[in-house]
Structures are given as structure tokens and as C-alpha cells.
Structure 1
């Protein structure tokens, strides 16, 4: 089915779009331009939406805003925003009354004319997704990059050709209700995450498993063999299973032995490149590149893999070098919303750093972060709602002797300034919060941009 055909089929329906955000605003505009009747719903007050509210009304949307935006929801088709649970009582009531609950991403899978490579995991999703897209583009393919990475693709589906490739990042929230899987499905890793939204770890894992659940024998699964949970996924793979590992040889896929990345297929092992040639620092980025290499095998040459790996400078807000001032390097890792992500960032440096951490709690334990901070941090600056939990993880870590300097600041700006004041020539100041941004920022991009602004204002 083409996008125009889908819209034609729903044109006479009453449509509600839940969430007026990055992924849904273009969808609302597309539906309105096509003559559909659309009610745009959001828990935010009108003033918080700024000019977006008036712009959508001028285009014909009916707005339902504020805390009761889901009350007595009456529509034939409901588009759910990814961060909204599908089993909310208001949504279940609407479905019982006959409404169809869907999402921008689910419809994209229905109308996309080209092959889809999807990436999910707890950490490394965005970087791996971006690397795959860059590898394919460097090889000459027309690539459409989007999904949870920040770019909705549904509105562009009619411009895509069968020979193109869509590369999409998929969150657990998007995957929860998916009933289709990509041609190539990549699972980077799995650790406790988003437990403030998911009922428990089991629900989170099952949401991730959905990326594989609907594949066919003609499809490909790329799995991280170093995680036991992901190894369990292998039994349910219907098509080709490709693995990647930095711990040992794989039967089919990509592995790291010594400092060399190898590709393995049909019992043959071939060197791809030396891991030291990867421009991005950190073992986690070696894993990201191995996942990407496995995903594009047969599509991209090893020469292209080596060239892209040696040039790719990373994605904004992910171990991003902001500036060097008086010998101090300032890095922005605002994307790090979990302890495991912060640990990966800390391990990317060959020296102890000044760490700025803390934000909104999402229900994951910080125990594993404490020992890493003791081993890899010279000064810890804490701010935000999780400051006390991170501090407790450090104080309770084996080997804590009271020598680590811990600075606590309620204000984010003051925290950055305190980190800068503690830094000397040769130091690294590293924003890697291990928590989400929603205690004081709209998203991790706003948090990262605020950090960049503060750092660039230092004299």
C-alpha cells in the first residue's frame, strides 16, 4: 500500500493524534493537507506549545490540550505518541468502542516501499543507526535515516523508491505495539532502562524482542553475542542470524580478536580493519561499528567500512568535544540517560575525568555506576533529582575511602561552572548524566545545548 492510498482509505474517519511533538506534528500537517478531520491532543497547556497550537488550528486541526486531553477520547483512528503507554484506561476504552490504535512508525512500516534496516538496544542505538546510514550512503545507496533518532519518515514515504534503504532507530516504546519487523534487525545491547515507563524488565525485553518477532526466513537479525539476554533471542530468529562480539569468535558475523575486527562467514574469517583506525574513541564505539559492519555485509565493501570508520566524528550530544579552553577539554554526552551509557563514556578516556551527572530518575539502579566512578573520576559534580542516588552508589561502592571530591549543586549552570572551576590544564570535563533530562529540560538535546552554551561562554 502506498501512503496516498492509506490516507485515501482513512480520509472519512475521525482521527486523533496524541502528542504534538517531533514525530507527530508533521503527521498532523500531512493529514490536514490531505483533507482529513484531525483532533490534535497533548497534555501540555496551550502557552507551552507556543505558535504551534495556533498554526495547527489555522490549518484545520481541533486541539484538545491540558491534563484531561485523553478524557472521553472519541475517534475512529488514534495515533499514539511513542512515550504514551498503549494500555492506558482511556485508550483501552476507545479501542473497546471500536477505535484503531496505531502510530506513525507502524503506518510507515505498512507503506514504506523500500527495504528497512532497524536498530534497537539500550545504548548505542543512534550512533549505530547513523553509522549504518553513512556506510550505505558512502557505497552509493539512497538512504532515508529517521525514526527515534528524531526524524519522522512517514511523511516522506511517497518520495522513496524500491531501491532505496530506510535506516531507522526504534525505541522500546515504538516497538511495544509493532506487528511488523525490519528486513535487517539490529540489537546493540540490553541492560535495565526506561523502568519508569515499563512495568518491569520483562516487559522492556519483550518490547525489544518485537524487532525480531515478525521477521521471515528472508530477513536478517544482527545480535550482540556478549549479552546473555540477547543470546536468548537467537533461538527465535527465523532468517539469518549474524552475531557480533568483542569477547570471542562468532560463527557468522563480526568479531574482535586482539585489536583486529574480523568478518566471519561460511567458516572463513577475513580482517576488516584495525580497531585503532576507528576515529571515535571508546570500546563501545568499536561495538557500534561491528554491529553496523554486520548489518551491511553484502551491501558495503570493507574498503568503504574502513574509510567511514576513519572519518566519522560521531553524533551530536554523544561524547561530543565542545571545546578546549586553557588545556581543559569539555565533552558533551547528554544522550547518556542510563548508568551503562555513562560507564561506556567513562571508559572511552584514558584518564580520570571531572564528571557532571544527575537528572530525572527512570527507575534503574545506580549500583554499577559507583565502582566505575571511583575508578575513573577525579571530581564528581552532582545535580538534579538523581544526585543523591548516584552519591549513595559511590559511597556504598567497594573501596570507597572518602578521597573522591563530590560537589553538589542544585542549579545546572552552577554545576557546570563548579566543574570548570575544579579543572586544570590537561583535565577532561565530561557531562554524562546517567539520567534523563526531564527534571528540568525538554529533552537531552536541550540539556546538551545548554551545556554547550555555558561552556562556550567560559572565559
Structure 2
């Protein structure tokens, strides 16, 4: 088993004091390691965390990333989302200083098997479902096994790694920002003499024994240099699997289908359209697994599924395969899926007022996710969209807006980008009756939606954009939406 003591004598710098950076700096300091943490934000922007880090013995350099920090750094831990192109990290790489992350260190230290899940959309729902199914299985079987769920959701798992045993199981949501550090090529400038022992193991390629790629569509191109780099990051979740490992792949997604056929690990396919032996599918009107001979093993009728939308049926199929590969029974799947109503900010019902339903889908930070949300409703829609554009194509989403909505209410930095796409699409859909509105912020958009919505309508917040023009993250945007709706 890998231990933290193997890194004794190394000097660490944590770059970025987001959720993961804070947790890692505290963890390392409490284990007696010399830790410096740096963040581009000044102390007043970071709040109470500054005092707790200082009290734990973390040296803080805030408001800048001075290159002098590299003089006494053996390893940098980089918070997800910090671009590798910033001068500080470029200088570190040119000096041969290795880079890693809290997530990669956790996977290195974790004694339990890991189930890893990535994709452009559906990660959190699938991860949560998989964790709940495995928890139900453990409870019903009387097993002492504990199920730990985290990664890109919930608490940073480094906080609890010392509590995890080899008998437990970890279910991790993994983003492209986290996975890009699982590739050893990221540290190809590090001299060979530094890549021995524990540090070499930490920087080597690694994939979970059970992994899933739910889908790959254009996303985060404001952060990754190109679609090629984005796909390369996602592939890390299966790149280093062994032939005996399991990869759960989406047969309905072009990119996932292509990638899944290139690897030696045991592929288990899920599909809403096809049925493959060893996979999961919709068989008639039933969510089902298929055995190695292709025989259908019913899980539950689709009518008993509480989640809305075809995309969520796809997530359910993936969760069934993942949990099955980790030892769950069909009974545990049926129990959880039949009662699971979703995760907050993901097609979350907020309120019904005067016959109008208000739905919070703030997680929709790309046009692709907005499309999935629109396709989840048969009712007339008043759509609230906008925020910070991620340099993704809007043409398909714009066309669907004209078919599915009565009103499109835009807000935030991307207002004119989306408006232009809608007006362009309108040239080909001459009978579209959708009314386009522009608002300065979300509060104004909610007020307007409440005045134009009719009984039977759905007011849907599904922005299709990042939130950073006005909010800390999508969760804050969703919370503000709920508060605004509650005040109507």
C-alpha cells in the first residue's frame, strides 16, 4: 500500500486555494510536511480559509504566484481549472518541477478499489446513483464495506483517505481538469532522476479498475486548447487499464463508441437504441441488463423511473453497469432507481405557482446540456439562458429553442451570442413563434419569466453557459434562482 510517509523530505507548493487546494494544504500540513500555498486572489477574497491554513502551519503567498516559490519546490499540486498555460506553471515545467493534484494523490494513497466516472454531461447523476446502489447493496448484504463518493462532487476525498480501508469502495466523479494530470506526458520535462520511488509512482499513468466514459461532446474549450486536448484528458480514465479491468461505454455516443473499440479492457456497452451482450439497454419498456449470451435481465419498468429525460435513462443504464461490475444486485438497483429523484441543480423542481412549474437546471453549462433539458419536457417552455460563453457552437440549441419554447429570456455576457444564433436559426424556421427577450441579470430574467408564463408552462433555467460572469459557480447561480422564485 502506498503511504504519505514515502514522500518524506519533499517540499510541496499548492497552487490555487479552491475546495481541493484548501483540503490538500491542510492534509499535508497536518501530516507534518512543509507546505506553501499560493493563490492569485488577495486574502480578503479568500475569507476564513486564510486563518485556518495559517493556524495549521501552511505558509501563504496570496495575490500573486511569484517565481521565487519554485526555488524551494519539489512538487506542485495544482487545483483543477487552473490553466497549465499560466506563467508560473510554465516556468515550473521548464525547470523540470513535477505537477500533480489532490485527486491524483488521493488515488495514489487510496487502499480501496475505485470506480471512476467521466463524461461531458451526466457525471454527477451517474456517480450519485452508482454510490447509492452500492450503498444499498452493502446494507442489504450486511457487509461492513463502506462506500465513499466524491472527486469532482462533494468533499475532497483527501480529507478522508486515512479512514478508508482496503475493504471499502470509492466512487469518483472525474472531470477533464482532474484527469489531465493522470497522464505521465504532463511531466515529460521532469528529469529521469526525479522519477524514482514514490514520486515516480505518483506521476505515472493510472486509471481506475472500473471506469466509465458517459459521452464526449465539445465542452470546456475555454480552458482546453482544443477538442483534441479535451478528448485526450478524458481518455486518461481508461488509458492505463489492464485487460481484466472494466470500461463502461456509451454505444449511442460517437466519440465514446470510437474510443471504446480501441482498448483491451473489458467493454460493457449501454445504449437506448441497441442491445449488446453484457451491456445495459431499454428492452421494450424496461430498464435491463443483458448477460453474456444477450439474455434480458429486467431491472425495473421505465414507468417507475422518477428521473425526467432520455439523457437520464442513459445515466441510469451506466449506473447499472458500473454498480453491477462492482458487485451490486439487480434488487439494489431497482430499489434505488425507483426512488431516486435527482441531484440539485439538475432539472430540479423548485416551485409550482399559478399553474407554472419552475425548474432549476443551472448545471447546464453547455449548449449540449441545454438541449437535453429542452428535450425533457413536452410542456411549453419559457427558457432562461445565458452567462459566460464557452466558445461552443449554438446552432443546434438555437434551432431547438425555436421548436420547444414560447419565450427565450437571455441574460449575462453571452446574450448577444445566443441571440444571434437564434435569429440565424429563425431564417430557416419561418413559422417559429418564439419571442426573444434580453435582460441584464438573472433577477430581471426571473421577474420577466413570471409575467410571460401561462398556466401549464415550464419556466426552465438551463443557461447553456458558464456562470462566472456573475456567480462563483453553477451551484450559486442555482441557489439564487431558487431564492428569486421563492420570492415571486
Distance 2:394 2:66 in 1: 34
Specify every segment of 5 or more residues in structure 2 that has no aligned partner in the other structure, as ranges: 139-144, 183-204
Residue 305 of structure 1 and its aligned partner are, at CA, apart by 1.3
1:448 maps to 478
Contact kept in structure 2, 1:394 and 1:400, CA below 8 Å: no
Aligned pairs for 1:225-374 within 5 A = 225-270=251-296, 271-297=298-324, 299-374=327-402
Distance 2:98 2:162 in 1: 23
C-alpha spacing 1:86/1:285, structure 2 compared with 1 (3 Å):
same
1:198 maps to 224
Further displaced range: 73-82 or 129-138: 73-82
Q: Per the alignment, in what secondary structure is the counterpart of residue 212 of structure 2?
A: strand
Aligned-residue CA RMSD in angstroms? 1.6
The answer on 1:127 being equivalent to 2:131 is: no
1:176 maps to 180
Contact kept in structure 1, 2:379 and 2:456, CA below 8 Å: no
Distance 1:456 1:406 in 2: 25
Distance 1:254 1:374 in 2: 34
Specify every segment of 5 or more residues in structure 1 that has no aligned partner in the other structure, as ranges: none
Contact kept in structure 2, 1:380 and 1:404, CA below 8 Å: yes
2:152 maps to 148
**Residues 62-120 of structure 1 deviation map (CA, whole Å, 9 limit, x = unaligned):** 22222x32534311111011112335442242244342211111111111111100100
2:20 maps to 23
1:216 maps to 242
Distance 1:160 1:177 in 2: 23
Contact kept in structure 2, 1:120 and 1:208, CA below 8 Å: yes
**Residues 211-265 of structure 1 deviation map (CA, whole Å, 9 limit, x = unaligned):** 1000012210000001121111123322210000111122331112332223122
The answer on 1:71 being equivalent to 2:67 is: yes
Distance 1:156 1:400 in 2: 57
Distance 1:12 1:320 in 2: 48
Residue 414 of structure 1 and its aligned partner are, at CA, apart by 0.7
Contact kept in structure 1, 2:288 and 2:299, CA below 8 Å: yes
Distance 1:224 1:365 in 2: 22
Contact kept in structure 2, 1:23 and 1:150, CA below 8 Å: no
Contact kept in structure 1, 2:278 and 2:294, CA below 8 Å: no
2:201 maps to none
2:466 corresponds, among 432, 436, 449, to 436
Further displaced range: 377-386 or 392-401: 392-401
Contact kept in structure 2, 1:11 and 1:37, CA below 8 Å: no
TM-score (norm 1): 0.95
TM-score (norm 2): 0.90
Count of matched residue positions in the alignment of Structure 1 and Structure 2: 454
1:80 maps to 78
1:387 corresponds, among 408, 412, 415, to 415
Contact kept in structure 1, 2:277 and 2:294, CA below 8 Å: no
Contact kept in structure 1, 2:411 and 2:440, CA below 8 Å: yes
